[in-house]
Amino acid sequence: MPASPDTPRPGAAARLAELIRLRTVSAWYPAPDRADVAEAFAALPAVLERLYPLLHRHLEREVVDGTGLLFRWRGASPLEPLVLMAHWDVVPAPESEDGWVAAGWDSDPFAGTEGTVNEEPAVLGRGALDDKGAMVTVLEAVEDLLAEGFIPSEDVWLVFGGDEEVGGRNAAAISELLRERLQSQGTEPWLVLDEGGAVVPSPLSFVDATCAMIGLAEKGQAQLRLSASGAGGHASSPPAGSPIPRLARALRRVERRPFPARMNRTTAAMLAALIPLASGAAGRALPWVTRSRSVAARALGAMGGEPAAMVRTTVAQTRLAAGTADNVLPSSASAVLDCRIAPGQGVQDVLADITRRVADPRVHVELIHGQDPSPESPAAGDRFEALGAAVGTSWPGTVPVPYLLMAATDSRHFHAWCRHVYRFAPLRMDHAQRASIHGENEWVSVQSLSRGASFHRALITGRGRS
């Protein structure tokens, strides 16, 4: 019997667990001494074909840029297709038994364990949330709909990158390929959806509700290297102005002068959506605070952490390097800053601003890599409403809320030419689960997988789509 939205076919947890057991760690691929990783990358497409036979029988598949997988599900019209994205590579995790226990994991990260967490049936392992779990929700929905003989009204493209965690060249190549094909027909995707926000209980301390945080945009990114040089020598007679103290002073200046808090359109839309859900003193103050964008920005900035990051460019000191011996003065010292750029600023703005903050011509500030913030997709209109309708079908009682994503996703390559790009994985993630992404003890509930598949099913079939 074909699956229904509320009772998808069983076995999604086992299928995800099998995919987790493939060590598709992009940071280790390709590496001559990692035959297991090379085998996992080579095996995954064939495993997908075995787990999702109808999808591979009815959809056209292309391999792009070595590890990118592109599927086309032909609908009644090729115009304004729906693009659903995910990635199947993962970040590293400890491997040996002693290693994973010492590093804080309760089980082998690559065992693909089916178990129980907080009394919920769950799948544990690296990639359960980021991003194999989200990919599985797409695959499950498509497989179920194909079993029912469903034909979409417009084409559906599935974009699965194999290198998102190391830069996303797959997605960049696929984006350019689809851009050429669609623009030659005078069209663009109706909607692009990638990972990003999630179903989150109490996204802010004064919000007592479960919200679907739908990313309208993502912050830009710039890695800067600060370097100082000087005469080395014996540590017994240190001169003034040697590289390490000079660099330390520059880093203190940067830390003491954070970027100003400025409201952006996406965060303003988020606050407006949260007003009916807010409680307590902060909740009572929210309608008043949001009357002034500058006041609201300062209030979020004062909260620190993620709320502050929604309204300001952040600077994190991530790497330090200096010296070769305990008793030798180094001739150079360097530090790397990871800057996440808020909408309204660009890479060159941040480079110039950090240089002014350093205020020392003998400290060189160099741009290693940079990318401006993405455009901001609309928080209203038929696309956002379609996402909200799919949330209502799969997660009843959950409120769709616009959101600014702090991290980078593959969807940024599409946002360069597509107007409606959103970032949302239809999985429930509490605070601990969000912390487990790139951390320890990553897991997803089996119920989340089921509801996530229902979300994609509703979106594909056009429930709520005008």
Phi-psi region of 314 (alpha: psi -120 to 50; beta: other; left: phi over 0): beta
Query: Which is it for the CA torsion 301, 306, 307, 313, positive or negative?
Result: positive
In a domain, 7, yes or no: no
Tell me: the pLDDT tens digits for 23-69? 999 999 998 889 999 999 999 999 999 999 999 999 999 999 999 99
Q: Are 418 and 192 in contact (CB under 8 A)?
A: yes
Tell me: the pLDDT tens digits for 7-33? 557 899 999 999 999 999 999 999 888
Are residue 267 and residue 308 in the same domain, yes or no?
yes
Among 327, 347, 371, residue at a domain's last position: 371
321 CB neighbour count, 10 Å cutoff: 13
Q: Which amino acid is at 246?
A: R
Q: How distant, in Å, are the alpha carbons of 74, 146, 256, 440 from that of 149?
A: 13, 5, 61, 41
Cis? peptide before 208, omega within 30° of 0: no
In a domain, 20, yes or no: yes
Tell me: the pLDDT tens digits for 105-154? 998 999 999 999 999 999 999 999 999 999 999 999 999 999 999 999 99
Tokens, residue 122: 């769950």
- Give the pLDDT of residue 179: 98
Tokens, residue 202: 């109490």
In a domain, 92, yes or no: yes
Are residue 284 and residue 186 in the same domain, yes or no?
no
Report the Cα–Cα distance between both ends of the chain, in Å, rounded. Answer: 30
Are residue 324 and residue 392 in the same domain, yes or no?
no
Are residue 409 and residue 355 in the same domain, yes or no?
no
Tokens, residue 64: 């792009």
Are residue 212 and residue 88 in the same domain, yes or no?
yes
Closest CA to 369 of 150, 83, 168, 128: 168
In a domain, 1, yes or no: no
pLDDT band of 264, cuts 50, 70, 90: very high
Are residue 90 and residue 166 in the same domain, yes or no?
yes
DSSP state of 219: -
Tell me: the pLDDT tens digits for 420-452? 999 999 999 999 999 999 999 999 999 999 999
Q: How many residues does the chain have?
A: 466
CATH number at residue 229: 3.30.70.360
- pLDDT of 2 over the 60 cut: no
- Give the pLDDT of residue 465: 44
DSSP state of 343: T
Tell me: the pLDDT tens digits for 317-333? 999 999 989 999 999 99
Phi, psi torsion values for 267, nearest 5 degrees: -70, -35
Among 356, 371, 386, residue at a domain's last position: 371
- Give the pLDDT of residue 239: 78
Are residue 294 and residue 399 in the same domain, yes or no?
no
Which single residue is written with the structure tokens 């996402």?
387
Mean pLDDT of 84-90: 98
Closest CA to 373 of 172, 220, 222: 220
Tell me: the pLDDT tens digits for 194-224? 999 999 999 988 899 999 999 999 999 999 9
Closest CA to 159 of 147, 146, 172: 172
- Give the pLDDT of residue 60: 98
Q: How far apart are CA 410 and CA 175, in angstroms?
A: 9
Mean pLDDT of 73-79: 95
Domain that holds residue 261: 220-371
Q: Are 38 and 54 in contact (CB under 8 A)?
A: no
Q: How far apart are CA 41 and CA 243, in angstroms?
A: 44
Closest CA to 413 of 461, 356, 374: 374
Q: Are 390 and 455 in contact (CB under 8 A)?
A: yes
Closest CA to 90 of 124, 63, 32, 130: 130
Q: How distant, in Å, are the alpha carbons of 36, 161, 170 from that of 40?
A: 6, 14, 17
In a domain, 3, yes or no: no
Percent of the chain surpassing pLDDT 70: 96
- Give the pLDDT of residue 231: 78
Mode of pairing for the β-strands spanning 314-322 and 233-234: unpaired
How many domains, the chain? 2
DSSP state of 206: T
In a domain, 401, yes or no: yes
pLDDT band of 3, cuts 50, 70, 90: very low
Round the average pLDDT of the chain to a whole number and report it: 93
- pLDDT of 226 over the 70 cut: yes
Q: How far apart are CA 3 and CA 148, in angstroms?
A: 8
pLDDT band of 464, cuts 50, 70, 90: very low
327 CB neighbour count, 10 Å cutoff: 8
Are residue 187 and residue 335 in the same domain, yes or no?
no
- pLDDT of 6 over the 70 cut: no
Are residue 427 and residue 404 in the same domain, yes or no?
yes
In a domain, 6, yes or no: no
CATH number at residue 194: 3.40.630.10
pLDDT band of 413, cuts 50, 70, 90: very high
Are residue 354 and residue 403 in the same domain, yes or no?
no
- Give the pLDDT of residue 466: 39
In a domain, 466, yes or no: no
pLDDT band of 5, cuts 50, 70, 90: very low
Mean pLDDT of 267-294: 91
Tell me: the pLDDT tens digits for 121-133? 999 999 999 999 9
Are residue 392 and residue 444 in the same domain, yes or no?
yes
- Give the pLDDT of residue 80: 95
Beta bridge partners of 61: 71
Are residue 255 and residue 201 in the same domain, yes or no?
no
Tell me: the pLDDT tens digits for 355-365? 999 999 999 99
Tell me: the pLDDT tens digits for 154-166? 999 999 999 999 9
Among 371, 403, 429, residue at a domain's last position: 371
Q: How far apart are CA 350 and CA 348, in angstroms?
A: 5
pLDDT band of 93, cuts 50, 70, 90: very high
- pLDDT of 254 over the 80 cut: yes
